[in-house]
Amino acid sequence: MHIVYVLRCRGNKYYVGKTMDLNVRIRQHINGNTKWTRIYPFESVIWKKRTKNEDLLELAKTLEYMNLYNINNVRGSIYSRPILSLNDINDIRNKLNNKCYCCGRFGHSGNECRCDICGKSDHLDYQCDKCYKCGGRHSHSPINCRNCYKCGSPYHDYWNCDSCYKCGRSGHFARNCRYM
């Protein structure tokens, strides 16, 4: 599962992103890994959520924050360049005028709406029977979930997991994946 997150940056700016390992990604932002966080340095993580619906949620959260704090103060998803084109700005304004009738978020229509936890289209996240932390069945409480969110194993935490984020096979990491 991916983590979609929102950063508060210097100058009342915001950045929305996605990652498999938030701690590593935060260090990258602190080091100025993205153009936006190089211009407006990272201050804090203000929101995060594990999801299998990362692309749609990242876009929806980016548009939500653009709606709240102004297009010029937020970057993320497909709108991550510091200077947006006129076409991008018009596209954003169009998306902000259309909310999904299923979940009420921006960036997609009802026929594209997916559960944030499992990625299926027949229900929303509050109706999902999977754990929002690891993606496993609700045979345990998400509050007490100790399962690895990379592979679902109850026998180790994600930092001890040798499964690849991209293909799910063990024995290598995503940066060395030859299968995807």
Residues of the chain above pLDDT 90, percent = 44
Q: Is the pLDDT of residue 26 over 90?
A: yes
Residue 133 is assigned to a structural domain of this protein: no
Per DSSP, the three-state class of 175 is helix
Q: What number is the average pLDDT over the span 96-106?
A: 84
Residue 158 is assigned to a structural domain of this protein: no
Cα separation, 118 vs 56, whole angstroms: 12
Higher pLDDT pick, 136 / 29: 29
Cα separation, 115 vs 126, whole angstroms: 8
Determine the pLDDT at residue 141. 63
Q: Is the pLDDT of residue 170 over 70?
A: yes
Q: Is the pLDDT of residue 37 over 90?
A: yes
Residue 94 is assigned to a structural domain of this protein: yes
Q: What is the mean pLDDT of the chain?
A: 85
Q: Is the pLDDT of residue 59 over 90?
A: yes
Q: Is the pLDDT of residue 153 over 90?
A: no
Highest mean pLDDT among 44-48, 124-128, 142-146, 163-167: 44-48
What is the residue whose two structure tokens read 């499992």? 118
Residue 130 is assigned to a structural domain of this protein: no
Residue 34 lies in domain: 2-112
Indicate the number of domains in the chain. 1
Between 36-40, 47-51, 135-139, the lowest mean confidence (pLDDT) is in 135-139
CB atoms within 10 A of CB 129: 10
Q: Where are the beta strands (DSSP E) in the chain?
A: 2-9, 13-19, 42-51, 74-76
Q: Is the pLDDT of residue 148 over 80?
A: no
Residue 58 is assigned to a structural domain of this protein: yes
Residue 123 is assigned to a structural domain of this protein: no
Q: Is the pLDDT of residue 92 over 90?
A: yes
Residue 75 is assigned to a structural domain of this protein: yes
Residue 22 is assigned to a structural domain of this protein: yes
Helix residue ranges per DSSP H, the chain: 22-30, 35-39, 54-69, 86-96
